[in-house]
Amino acid sequence: MYTGPMTAPPSPETLERLKTALGPGGWSDDPDRLAPKLVEWRDRWQGTTPLLLLPRTTAEVAAVVRLCAETRTAITPQGGNTGLVGGQIPQGEVLLSLERMRAVRSLDPLDDAMVVEAGATLAAVHEAALEADRAFPLSLASEGSATVGGLISTNAGGTAVLRYGTMRALVLGVEAVLPDGSVFEGLKRLRKDNTGYDLKQFLIGAEGTLGVVTAASLKLFPRLRSRAVAVVGLDSPGDALAQAASGGAVEAFELMGRRGVDLAVKNIPGAREPLAEAHPWYVLVEFAMGQAGAAEAALERVLATGFDAGLVGDAVVAQNQVQAHALWALRENQSAAQKPEGVTWKHDIAVPVGAVPTFIDRATAAALALTPDARVVAFGHLGDGNIHYDVIQPEGGDGAAHAALRDQGSRAIHDIAVALGGSISAEHGLGTMKTAEALRYKAPAEVAALRAIRAALDPNRIMNPRVLF
Ligand SMILES: Cc1cc2nc3c(=O)[nH]c(=O)nc-3n(C[C@H](O)[C@H](O)[C@H](O)COP(=O)(O)OP(=O)(O)OC[C@H]3O[C@@H](n4cnc5c(N)ncnc54)[C@H](O)[C@@H]3O)c2cc1C
């Protein structure tokens, strides 16, 4: 965690200058307007800010960042406020929201690229791409609110990473306001550009510490019309890995455990058991291909091979869009279904794909050694080796006692992931929640280099000062 000097709270005069720079409608200090931006999805952080900045153009973002640099005023950028590690929640900094910068600036089907402002939601990006008969493949459960700026700043992953990669692979160019208020006009649409350091890649995953992303050019793909979705019942996640070797048509390969399905059926209205009989594990698999009927045929073939090999216990293939949505809802609600169950230790780990079963076995032994009746819910992007490994307090048990063991439990679980060659944060980033923990595992030489880069761009540490190294 950063323990060096922090900027002082902004003076009343600085706040007035910021308001003047943006004019009426460009700022707010109305508590009702601020309230939803000061709490996050898990209700884990409650923030404060003296002022919400609402710029409408890149020039306005540059003007306020310049002013903040001059007055050493700290800034927290915020997009859709769906981040899960606290990085978008201000603790006294001015809050800079991109919510008024949502335009699709251009979309060129020939280039397979679109230029969109940072405040546009992922759902809006999907819609714009589809209108041009193209697809933007990144997909996650928060896509109605998560914004392009947030997705870039957290290098978001989601359910199609095994085929298309994370945001790092999907961004062709970035426009950003750097911490001194200068504008990096990097909205290239090139597939190849090998001209030394790539500033765009520094900004991707920077969690708002190296500047404010104001727009991006995104890579588009052909729209694959043939899609097939199934949920498969299995005895172990190892069996699911055997299925993962099923070729390039796989777009999603998502794990759910028995307890996660139980909780979804219990706590999510409309959620139903996917299969007639209960299974210890489930995989939701989606195939996507270009030719009509091809994905359905490929999926049937793979399932038949799985049955013959005795790996697949049972499976349901969605017969229409409604059924496909219902199967996806079961997966996407794995996290929401835990909310009413009390205190949970949450983890977002990655290990090499083949090590997932070992990770789950070892982590479960470690968690139960601390809280014997804890309820483990392991789910997530099995095809990427990214497991959301959650440990819920015992049913009807003592939430405070479980919370008191969180740090010790998470430490043990992170140690197991790292010992298997893994990461303690696969896709959510570090924010304020995991920075100190990440420092335990990063090599000193790497940390020193990263700090030097940050200090060079932002010597007074005004950008998201409590986040990252
Ligand atoms: C139900 C649910 C499911 C999720 N599923 C996934 C998943 O499958 N995969 C995944 O990767 N994530 C997932 N997330 C996490 C979250 O949706 C992503 O991290 C997302 O990218 C955050 O986007 P946002 O616009 O909400 O950013 P915010 O939450 O507003 O901000 C996140 C970080 O980015 C910074 N930031 C935001 N905008 C800018 C900008 N314009 N310039 C500079 N910095 C900026 C903030 O300061 C903060 O550090 C999920 C979240 C929820 C609630």
Closest CA relative to residue 211, chosen from 12, 62, 28, 381: 62
Over the stretch 292-307, which tens digit does the pLDDT of each residue have? 999 999 999 989 988 8
**Nearest CA among 53, 78, 68 for reference residue 7:** 68
* Residue 304 CB partners (closer than 8 Å, separation 6+): none
Mutate to test the pocket of ligand 1, among 142, 212, 213, 464 (most ligand atoms within 8 A of CB): 142
**DSSP class per residue in 346-365:** --EEE--GGGHHHHHHHHHH
Hey, what are 157's tokens? 């992953």
For residue 320, what pLDDT is reported?
A: 94
The pLDDT of residue 5 = 64
Residue 45 pLDDT: 86
Distance 171 CA to ligand 1 centre (A): 16
101, 154, 462, 463, best to mutate for ligand 1 pocket (most atoms within 8 Å of CB): 154
Ligand 1, CB within 6 Å, residue ranges = 41, 76-84, 87-88, 98, 118, 140-142, 145-147, 149-151, 153-154, 156-158, 207-208, 212-213, 335, 427-428, 431, 464, 467
- Asked if 267 and 221 touch (Cβ cutoff 8 Å), the reply is no
* DSSP secondary structure of 103-170: -EEEEETTTTEEEEETTSBHHHHHHHHHHTTEE-----TTTTT-BHHHHHHTT---TTHHHH--HHHH
For a mutational test of ligand 1's pocket, the pick from 40, 88, 98, 151, i.e. the residue with the most ligand atoms closer than 8 A to its C-beta, is 88
Grouping H, G, I as helix, E, B as strand and the rest as coil, residue 249 is coil
Q: Which residue has the tokens 């809050």?
A: 95
Q: Write down the pLDDT at residue 138.
A: 97
90 C-alpha to center of ligand 1: Å?
15
Backbone angles phi, psi at 171, to 5 degrees: -105, 125
**What is the Cα–Cα distance from 224 to 414, expressed in whole angstroms?**
38
Name the residue at shortest CA distance from atom 52 of ligand 1: 142
Q: Which atom of ligand 1 is nearest to the CA of 84?
A: 15
Q: Give me the pLDDT at residue 240, please.
A: 77
What is the atom index within ligand 1 of the atom nearest the CA of 141? 3
pLDDT in tens, 65-108: 999 999 999 999 999 999 999 999 999 999 999 999 999 999 99
251 Cα–ligand 1 center, Å: 22
Name the token pair of 377: 């819910």
The DSSP call for residue 39 is: B
For residue 7, the model assigns a pLDDT of 78
State residue 432's pLDDT score: 93
Measure 82 CA to ligand 1 centroid, in angstroms: 5
> Helix, strand, or coil here: 454?
helix
| Ligand 1 atom, smallest distance to 207 CA | 49
Q: Note whether 148 and 117 are within 8 A (CB).
A: yes
The pLDDT assigned to 158 comes to 92
Q: Whose CA is nearest to atom 37 of ligand 1?
A: 150
Report the pLDDT value the prediction gives residue 243, as an integer from 0 to 100: 63
Q: Are 210 and 247 in contact (CB under 8 A)?
A: no
Atom of ligand 1 at shortest range from CA of 40: 29
pTM of the predicted model, to two decimals? 0.94
Query: How remote is the CA of residue 45 from the centroid of ligand 1, in Å?
Result: 15
CA of 358 relative to ligand 1 center, distance in Å: 29
Q: Whose CA is nearest to atom 2 of ligand 1?
A: 142
Which run of H or of E encompasses 288? strand 281-289
The Å distance, Cα 188 to ligand 1 centre, comes to 23
- Expressed in angstroms and rounded, the spacing between residue 150 Cα and the centre of ligand 1 is 4
Question: Which atom of ligand 1 sits closest to the CA of residue 203?
Answer: 43
Strand partners, 288: 227
Question: Residue 307: its pLDDT value, please?
Answer: 86
Determine the pLDDT at residue 369.
96
**Euclidean distance between CA atoms 370 and 387, whole angstroms:** 20
User: Tokens 């209960």 identify what position?
Assistant: 278
Nearest alpha-carbon partner for 253 in 329, 341, 159: 159
CA–CA distance, 283 with 457 (Å, rounded to integer) = 44
Q: How far is the CA of 147 from the CAs of 39, 83, 350, in angstroms?
A: 17, 10, 24
pLDDT single digits (tens) 363-401: 999 999 999 999 999 999 999 999 999 999 999 999 999
- For residue 24 the two structure tokens come to 């009426």
- Please give the number of the atom of ligand 1 that sits closest to the Cα of 82: 26
Half-sphere exposure of 161 (CA within 13 A, CB side): 21
Q: What residues in the chain have per-residue pLDDT under 50?
A: none
Mutate to test the pocket of ligand 1, among 121, 147, 153 (most ligand atoms within 8 A of CB): 153
